[in-house]
Amino acid sequence: MKHTLKTSLFVGLAALGLTAVVGSTTAKLYARITSNQQLTTDPTTRNVTFTGNNALYTKAGTLRGARIIASGTSLGTLAAANTAGSNVRAYRVATTNRGSVYYKVVTFDGQYRGWIYGGTSTGTFGGGITPYATTQDATAPDAKTQFKLIDGALAETTNQVVYDAPANTQYQVGATPTITNLANYKDATFTVTKAVTNPRDNTTWYQLASSNADLNGKWVNKGNVTEAKPANTNTSDNSVTVVYLDGENGTNNPVDKANQTFTTTDTSTKAGQVAASSFVNADKLSLQDFAKKHVPAGYTFVSFGNDNAVFGGTQYVEVKKAAQVKVVYLDATNNNNNPIDKADQTFTAVNADANAGTAVSKYQDANGLSLSAFAKKNVPAGYTFKSFVNTDAVFGGTQYVAVVKAK
């Protein structure tokens, strides 16, 4: 019996030993890193995109403990998207003892960062990533053409107009941080030295050449520039003098210091030629439109004094003193209705048939505002509209407006 027990124990222990040996030979063997280095080549040459063939890992995918950040399918979908995150920058490279190469990458928006299989050579991108040109050459305008920023760009309160590189085409390169007030560049002109297109969103960008150091070499979206047309030199061949005549009481005396000069951009006109409506100035205005636009302040257009004005000649325009209403704001906060100091406004009718003593209700100013709308728009700062004190204001009279201090 003792012999049998010893035999059984021996056989059991032997079996356990055999299992341990077998287990040790079948355990998974993980790769190990033999090199891990920062990439030092030109960053613009390390822009890549995902192929969708491999997943993104927390470390090289064959290392112990590597976890998937995003599947190959997800990365393929991302690569096809027209977003900033679709562009990727490679910045480290590692090799394993098995000869595999892994690159550490980050999307331009920073949403994805990790390691991805890159083939078997540290000199090329392969496997899960492939080289990607974030810009493509586009046709630039004539190198001698002068441009300027459009009014909409100049009105922006933060700089999302002038960039150090076309937007979303280089990792962590965005709008020029030293430009804080775009209005400072309203008179700046520049030429274009290069044009590229961002294939992700199909936007075209211009690189600038300018005597203004802040703009020189920077990039601006094509939609934010317009040609800066030089002002024409006034000659008898291309210009007409516009004279405004005060028709009040039939005097037709020229309005003092109100003359204007219309200059066409057409280079074929000659002195004595009729300044027809087909000839326009740099603002695309014909002579008559120009004359109406520049009616002197405090006057309104009545009629043209002559037809068929010619280049080198004069366009006479009859005007009359504009009908006006004084708008007085009364502080009604404590029901004392005292006029607010230096808050008065003047409503001026644009209509020629508005006369002193005429009711104001049907007339508008040059901005299309009625008297009531004008009065509400110009309520003094720190106050809110309460009511109109009178509702029968006439030209030459006063509109009183009750306001209260804002809470």
Q: Is residue 10 part of a domain?
A: no
User: Is the predicted pLDDT of residue 85 greater than 90, yes or no?
Assistant: no
Judgement on whether residues 295 and 346 belong to the same structural domain of the protein:
no
* Per-residue pLDDT reduced to its tens digit, 4-63: 444 443 444 444 444 444 444 445 689 999 999 999 999 999 999 999 999 999 999 999
The Cα 139–Cα 197 span in angstroms is 9
CA atoms within 13 A on the CB side of 279: 23
% of the chain with per-residue pLDDT over 90: 74
Together in a domain, 107 and 160: no
β-strand pairing of 225-227 with 101-107: unpaired
Is the CB of residue 262 less than 8 Å from the CB of residue 281? yes
The region of weakest confidence among 74-78, 337-341, 356-360 is: 356-360
Who wins on pLDDT, 275 or 250? 275
Residue 196: which CATH number? 2.30.30
- Compute the distance between CA of residue 73 and CA of residue 280 in angstroms, rounded to an integer: 59
pLDDT at 318 over 50: yes
Is the pLDDT score of 1 beyond 80?
A: no
One domain for residues 310 and 292: yes
**What is the distance between the alpha carbons of residues 213 and 144, in angstroms, rounded to a whole number?**
19
Q: CA 222 to CA 162: how far, in whole Å?
A: 11
pLDDT (mean) for 285-290 = 96
State whether 155 and 184 are in the same domain.
yes
Per-residue pLDDT at 74: 95
| Structural domain range at position 101 | 33-131
Asked whether residue 15 is assigned to any structural domain, the reply reads no
pLDDT at 352: 79
Q: To which residue do tokens 């003098």 refer?
A: 241
**Does residue 213 form part of some domain?**
yes
Q: What is the pLDDT of residues 87-114, one digit of tens each?
A: 999 999 999 999 999 999 999 999 999 9
Give the number of domains in the chain.
4
Task: Report the pLDDT averaged over residues 241-255.
Answer: 86
Is 109 found in the same domain as 55? yes
Q: Which of 279, 305, 321 is the last residue of a domain?
A: 321
Paired tokens of 191: 């030429």
**E-strand spans in 118-202?**
129-131, 136-137, 147-149, 162-163, 191-198
Does 125 lie in the same domain as 39?
yes
Q: What is the pLDDT of residue 2?
A: 45
Mean pLDDT of 152-162: 93
Query: Is it the case that residue 288 has pLDDT exceeding 90?
Result: yes
**Who contacts 351 (Cβ-Cβ below 8 Å, separation ≥6)?**
300, 323, 363, 364
- pLDDT band for 231, please (50, 70, 90 cuts): low
Q: Is the pLDDT confidence value at 247 over 70? A: yes
Question: Chain-wide mean pLDDT for the chain?
Answer: 89
Nearest-angstrom CA–CA distance, 306 and 314: 9
- Indicate if 331 and 316 belong to the same structural domain: no
Query: Among 155-159, 236-240, 356-360, where is mean pLDDT lowest?
Result: 356-360
Cα distance between residue 94 and residue 84, in whole Å: 26
Residue 243 tokens, joined? 């004279």
**Confidence at residue 248, expressed as pLDDT on a 0 to 100 scale:** 75
CB hemisphere CA count around 399 (13 angstroms): 30
CA-based torsion, 117, 119, 120, 124: positive or negative: negative
Give domain status of residue 383, yes or no.
yes
Question: What confidence tens digit (pLDDT) does each residue in 119-138 have?
Answer: 999 989 999 999 999 999 99
| 21 within domain boundaries | no
Tens of pLDDT, residue by residue over 171-216, are 999 999 999 999 999 989 999 999 999 999 899 999 999 999 999 9
Note the pLDDT tens digit of each residue in 264-287.
Answer: 988 899 999 999 999 999 888 999
Residues 255 and 343 occupy one common structural domain: no
17 lies in a domain? no
109 contact partners, CB below 8 Å, separation of at least 6: 83, 84, 85
Whether 329 and 296 share a structural domain: no
The answer on pLDDT for 289 being more than 70 is yes
Does 27 fall in a domain? no
Task: Indicate whether 37 and 119 sit together in one domain.
Answer: yes
pTM above 0.95, yes or no: no
DSSP H stretches of helix in 231-365: 287-293
CB 208 within 8 A of CB 191: yes
Domain finish residue from 227, 259, 277: 227
- Average pLDDT for 210-233: 90
Q: Given a cut of 90, is residue 356 above it in pLDDT?
A: no
Q: Give the separation between CA 376 and CA 367, rounded to whole angstroms.
A: 14
Q: Where does a domain end: 105, 131, 157?
A: 131
Answer yes or no: do 48 and 118 share one domain: yes
Is the residue at 193 inside a domain? yes
Same domain (yes/no): 199, 218: yes
